[in-house]
Amino acid sequence: MSFPSRMRAARRYVAVVVVSGSLVLMAASSGRASASGGASMTVTLYASPTKEQFLNHADDRARGNGSNPFGNFSNPVATTKEHGNGPFPGDQAVFNFNLFAGPVLTKAAGAAVFVCTYNFAHNGLCEGAYQLGRGTLYVKGPLDFDAKTFSLAVVGGTGNYAHLTGSLTETPTRTSSRRAASQRTVLSLHRVSGPRHTLALQSVTTSEVFLNHADDRKRGGGNNPFGNFISRTATTGEKSGPYPGDQAIFTFDVYAGAKLRTRAGSAVFRCIYAFKRLGFCDAIYNLSGGTVVAEGAFSFDTTTYAMTVTGGTGRYASAAGEVAAGLPTSKKSQPVVIGLV
């Protein structure tokens, strides 16, 4: 089932309604949910891996280059002499999952995508998007690829999951030979609230760098905490790129009005492609008084997009909220509304 059709299926089961300013989440058949006090909730889902793309960056590893703000530290040991089993620092992996409401994996609840970058000793940094019926929840954090369980931070959400934070814990379920491997995913969520304000901006794209990792795409290597799932099918057989693991960096000038006369700052997006041209983007808006940090997973075949605000610095410290970009205008600028809490 494709990502969009799985999302449509999920909508049949998940009903999220906003009533009088409070979030009312009716998890009818979509996942077990329970309230813990008035301000937090727990959602339980079951994730079954469906696709994986591993990127072996052996040909890209080099000694440190240039300065860094960590005491100009440069590794004294050759990093290209790889001993033992990888994955090694810099390798990457993209995983897709189907989400279900219960352990029998019959009722669809959405889909998830993880993009992970390995660092040292089979550990990695993973960012995940849980695309549910009425929005997306985003998670991020360190992951031990030799472990069976893991916990990640919930850094925000879009749609009816906007302004949510918390944590995620994933553990393997017992599987029978007839059933696919799955992980029990428990999301403990909490809503961020406070005074709301909106930034109405226009962004103009100024540069792009595309990274084609065709030479790095391989079958999965090493362990993973997703039932050691490795795609059995060829992962490079998609009809048109960009392909999973490819990356792109975009820079933007940001203006305060549609006439593009008042400069408000700049923005930079770093995106890694998952399957079917879904881009997983980290965004930073450098504005007067601080930065807004956001991330989002959206199709690169569309003309609009949404992201979640995961935090900020300066006047935007501890910010939560959403970024909504509308249709580009004739001047090639794009309206961007940042709603902050």
Window 147 to 206, contacts with other proteins (CB under 8 A)? 151-156, 165-167, 188, 190-194, 203, 205
Nearer to other proteins, 52 or 127 (CB): 127
Give just the sign of the alpha carbon dihedral 183, 229, 273, 127: positive
Phi, psi at 59, each rounded to 5°: -80, -5
CB nearer to other proteins: pick between 275 and 298: 298
Alpha-carbon span 23 to 213, nearest angstrom: 42
- Burial of 231-259, coded b for 16+ CB within 10 Å and e otherwise, reads beeebeeeeeebbbbbbbebebbbbbeee
- Least separation in angstroms between residue 213's CB and other proteins is 5
Q: Which two tokens stand for residue 34?
A: 């329970």
What would the 3-class secondary structure string for 219-275 be? CCCCCCCCCCCCCCCCCCCCCCCCCCCCEEEEEEEEECCCCCCCEEEEEEEEEEECH
Question: Does 67 participate in binding other proteins (rule CB under 8 A)?
Answer: yes
Closest residue by Cα to residue 134 from 107, 159, 164: 159
Binding span for other proteins by CB under 8 A among 37-45, 128-136, 170-178, 223-231: 37-45
Contact residues for 209 (Cβ-Cβ < 8 A; gap 6+): 248, 249
Nearer of residues 52 and 216 to other proteins, judged by Cβ: 216
Report which residue type is found at 297.
A
Q: Under rule CB under 8 A, which residues in 218-237 are in contact with other proteins?
A: none
Which pair of structure tokens corresponds to residue 33? 């949910």
| Least distance CB 249 / other proteins (angstroms) | 6
- Residues ≥6 apart with Cβ < 8 Å to 260: 202, 204, 331, 333
Least Å distance, CB 226 to other proteins, is 18
- Binding status of residue 115 toward other proteins by CB under 8 A: no
How far the first Cα of the chain sits from its last, in Å, is 36
Query: Under rule CB under 8 A, how many of the chain's residues touch other proteins?
Result: 121
Q: Is residue 33 a contact point for other proteins (CB under 8 A)?
A: yes
Q: Does residue 313 interact with other proteins by CB under 8 A?
A: yes
1 binds other proteins (CB under 8 A): no
Sole window of 129-137, 170-178, 228-236, 248-256 interacting with other proteins (rule: CB under 8 A): 248-256
To the nearest whole angstrom, how small is the minimum distance from the Cβ of residue 95 to other proteins?
Answer: 17
Q: Does 63 interact with other proteins (rule: CB under 8 A)?
A: yes
Candidates 46-54, 177-185, 229-237, 243-251: pick the segment binding other proteins (CB under 8 A).
Answer: 243-251
Does position 133 interact with other proteins (CB under 8 A)? The reply is no
Determine the interface stretch with other proteins among 35-43, 172-180, 220-228, 254-262 (rule: CB under 8 A).
35-43
Q: Whole-number minimum distance, CB 172 to other proteins, in Å?
A: 18
Least distance CB 223 / other proteins (angstroms)? 18
Q: How many CB atoms lie within 10 A of CB 21?
A: 6
Smallest gap from residue 340 Cβ to other proteins (A): 12
What span, in angstroms and rounded, lies between the C-alpha atoms of 184 and 169? 8
Restricted to residues 253-312, the positions that interact with other proteins (CB under 8 A) are 268-270, 277, 279, 282, 284, 286, 291, 293, 295, 298-305, 310-312
Phi, psi dihedrals of residue 51, rounded to the nearest 5°: -145, 155
Q: Which of 71, 176, 177, 239 binds other proteins (CB under 8 A)?
A: 71
45, 248, 274, 323: residue in contact with other proteins (rule CB under 8 A): 248
